[in-house]
Amino acid sequence: MNITIKEAVSPKEIRDFVLFSFELFKGNPNWIPPLISEEMETFDKTKNPALQKAECHLYLAYKDNKIVGKLAAIINWDEVNLLGKQKVRFGWFDVIDDIEVTKALLEKVETLGKQHGLTQMEGPIGFSNLDKVGALTEGFDEMGNMITWYSKPYYQEHFKQLGLTVEKEYQESVFSFFDVNPEPYFRASKMIRDRYKLKAINFSKTSEIMPYVDQMFDLFNEAYAKLQSFVAVSQEQIDYIKKKHIGFINPEYIKFILDENDRMIAFTIVMPNFADALQKAKGKLFPFGWWHLLQAKKQSKEVVFYLIGILPEYQNKGITAVIFDEFYHVFKAKNITTCIRTPELEENHAMHNLWKNFNSRINKRRCTFSKPI
């Protein structure tokens, strides 16, 4: 039977694009459904500022008049024009176990790239470095989280059979909060604070955080600038995050470290683990999804390290001890049991070194795949 590829353009088609993943992963205990309204907004040019700098086409694959696969073909124009990387991206990839469907979808990515004179395709990746990344290659029996895509084991096999090779490798890990002996970190934290004249800023209200957010993303851009394919976060994206996401994070889970001149040298954003709440919400805030998310925000005993940034000149100076010292008291008061680290590039040794004393267990690996076009 022929496979037909159609671009999703209308609100109904875009909703079908989002809902296909719900059908594909139905009954899978490790898939975390996104909020449908949030996914729809992701692809709305009038709402998502990432689309000001990116071109995006949503493709649906049909077989027997039934949707059997999807992906987003993306060009990040900042990546092309500012970094000189002649690359077309693909993301939001989900497909049944039929390599012909994957082939037909990837041909759309290749066609888009060739139309613009690009020479490489890579995915799964989103519009920017703040989006989800990679197809899962290990850890299919581990529960996902809201920061990552789940994948079927055959995704990587399809890519390899179609001539794509591993481009970037990522690891995820977990560690038990109770297994960490805090005393060495307390001592190191005091020594490092005294040596570098550092101070921590803690918050109890979202309004207190807002004046620091621009400075936080300046630091983020500087801390990650040396990683390949890093595209700086734009002011429009920062403003969007301020408006849409900062208020959803527990204020006590955001920590900033400043030097004696009040320059931010490190930050960490931790989030409650919303995975279980999102599974209960089943993609919808109403009637009860919001309540499950609110309960998780208040009561989750697991936390997800969402973003961490340390200025390059401070990355080997034990700043993790200061960060852990600050979080320890919050986590203890909330009876946190488990800390989850989101995808980190295998090449990001500075990040891995930050965690080397935390007895982490790598529980998932994921990759992006690429090929010349």
pLDDT of amino acid 348? 80
Q: What totals of helices (H) and strands (E) does the chain contain, helices first?
A: 13, 13
Residue 228 confidence (pLDDT) above 70: no
151 pLDDT band (50/70/90 cuts)? very high
Query: pLDDT tens digit string along 269-307?
Result: 999 999 999 999 999 999 999 999 999 999 999 999 998
Residue 333 has which token pair?
């008061």
352 pLDDT band (50/70/90 cuts)? confident
Residue 243 confidence (pLDDT) above 80: yes
Distances 156 to 29, 73, 141, 263 between C-alpha atoms, Å: 20, 18, 16, 43
For range 99-120, the mean pLDDT: 98
pLDDT of amino acid 3? 97
For range 337-362, the mean pLDDT: 85
Q: Would strands 302-310 and 338-345 be described as parallel, antiparallel, or unpaired? A: parallel
Nearest Cα neighbor of 323 from 268, 241, 273, 364 is: 268
pLDDT of amino acid 179? 85
DSSP state of 147: T
Query: pLDDT tens digit string along 246-267?
Result: 888 999 999 999 999 999 999 9
Query: pLDDT tens digit string along 3-15?
Result: 999 999 999 999 9
What angle is formed at CA 182 by the lines to CA 177 and CA 185, rounded to 5 degrees? 120
pLDDT of amino acid 204? 94
Nearest Cα neighbor of 116 from 72, 83, 53, 74 is: 74
Residue 268 confidence (pLDDT) above 90: yes
Per DSSP, what are the bridge partners of residue 55?
Answer: 75
pLDDT of amino acid 140? 98
Count of Cβ atoms closer than 10 Å to residue 127 Cβ? 27
Does the 175-364 domain belong in CATH 3.40.190.10? no
pLDDT of amino acid 349? 76
**Domain ranges across the chain:** 3-171, 175-364
CB 71 within 8 Å of CB 92: yes
CA torsion sign for 21, 22, 24, 28 is positive
Share of the chain above pLDDT 90, in %: 83
39-48, 53-62, 93-102, 179-188, range with the lowest pLDDT: 179-188
Residue 357 confidence (pLDDT) above 90: no
Nearest Cα neighbor of 146 from 319, 4, 252, 289 is: 289
CA distance 94 to 279: 18
Residue 227 confidence (pLDDT) above 80: no
Residue 344 has which token pair?
């980190």
For range 342-361, the mean pLDDT: 82
Phi, psi (rounded to 5 degrees) for 218: -60, -45
pLDDT of amino acid 276? 97
The fold of the 3-171 domain, in CATH, is Aminopeptidase (3.40.630)
What mean pLDDT, rounded, does the chain reach? 94
User: For residues 217-247, b (16+ Cβ closer than 10 Å) or e, as one string?
Assistant: bebbbebbeeeebbbbbbeebbebbbeeebe
Query: pLDDT tens digit string along 22-42?
Result: 999 999 999 999 999 999 999
pLDDT of amino acid 1? 64
Q: Is 3-171's fold the same as 175-364's?
A: yes
